[in-house]
Chains A and B, each alone.
Chain A
Amino acid sequence: MSELTVDKRDVEDVTLLYPKGFINAHTVRLFEGEIREAIQQGRYKIVVNCSGLSYIASAGLGAIMGAIEEIRGGGGDLRLASLNDTVRNIFEILGFNHLYRIYPSEMDAILSFARDGGTGS
């Protein structure tokens, strides 16, 4: 089994990423590449659906941090949905829950863009 796969689909102007497996120093390039591809295509509204993500190490958090200013500068945001307890806990340890918007479900995250136009906090 692959350690990480990242499926992607677009729902109108929102790009959904589905990392499945784990993100650490070994697998982060794939995850980072998908974020960069969305940015290059001018798709700045990104939802990372974490339901298939078993854990994320600092390399993965760094990939998000490294892209967030550009995403928000482009008028969008990167939002997270469906975190399991392990991943949520890591976000909370680092205080990422104050920097990024986290939603219980993918639909909640998609609808949040419709409500506020996508401007990041």
Chain B
Amino acid sequence: MRPALVLTVPSETSFLGLVREVTRKMAETAGFDLGTADQLALAVDEAATNVIEHAYGGASDREVEIRLEDRGPDFKVEVVDSGNTVDPRAVPDVDLGRYVKERRTGGLGMHLMEKIMDSVTFRRSAGRNVCRLVKRKAAVARGR
């Protein structure tokens, strides 16, 4: 049996470090090299940050659920919240040159997640928002 883990933390940024550490350990256990495990941990940190800042609007008395699963060919993480549904496609593509000129700093997290993961999808399920992040192991082996 491959490991799966569900972690529920309060919607406080002080728990992001814990989320990152758990994700990194799980990714290493799933067979990713340390560099890739670090990247996966960053993507999950960004997804959880989005939930705290946007879905919950900064409220610290809610829950963020992190579901991590080694599925064999890939590693799946779902970040689940019961806050406002934020349309991720409302985040414009990041043009770094323009960002610097306009002193904009939002949207970078979403951009990082999409660069790191093989797929980033959002859905509404049972009244909750689910952000699903998937990283294929073969993609890493091919040097992606």
Contacts and interface: CB of A to CB of B under 8 A. Distances in A.
Nearest to B49: A25
A9 to B, nearest CB: 27
Given A59-B49, A65-B104, A25 B96 contact: no
A55 B105 CA distance: 18
B49 A24 contact: yes
A68 B96 CA distance: 12
Interface residues of B, number: 31
A3 to B, nearest CB: 6
Contacts of A59: 49, 109
Interface string B24-37: 00000000000100
A25 B100 contact: no
Interface of A: 3, 22, 24-26, 55, 57-59, 61-63, 65-66, 68-69, 85-86, 89-90, 93-96, 98-99
A26 B112 contact: no
- Chain A, interface SS category: helix
Contacts of A58: 46, 49, 108-109, 111-112
B14 A65 contact: no
Contacts of B38: 55, 86, 89
A3 B105 CA distance: 23
B17 A24 contact: yes
B100 to A, nearest CB: 6
Given A22-B17, A25-B13, A93-B112, A69 B39 contact: no
B133 to A, nearest CB: 15
B103 A69 contact: yes
A58 B54 CA distance: 15
B99 A65 contact: yes
Given A57-B42, A57-B49, A86-B35, 11 more contacts: A22-B20, A25-B16, A57-B109, A58-B109, A62-B106, A65-B100, A69-B103, A90-B42, A93-B39, A94-B111, A96-B96
27 contacts: A22-B17, A25-B13, A25-B53, A26-B14, A26-B16, A26-B17, A55-B20, A55-B41, A55-B42, A57-B16, A57-B109, A58-B49, A58-B109, A59-B49, A61-B108, A62-B105, A62-B106, A65-B103, A65-B104, A65-B108, A69-B103, A89-B38, A89-B39, A90-B112, A94-B96, A94-B111, A98-B96
A98 B100 CA distance: 12
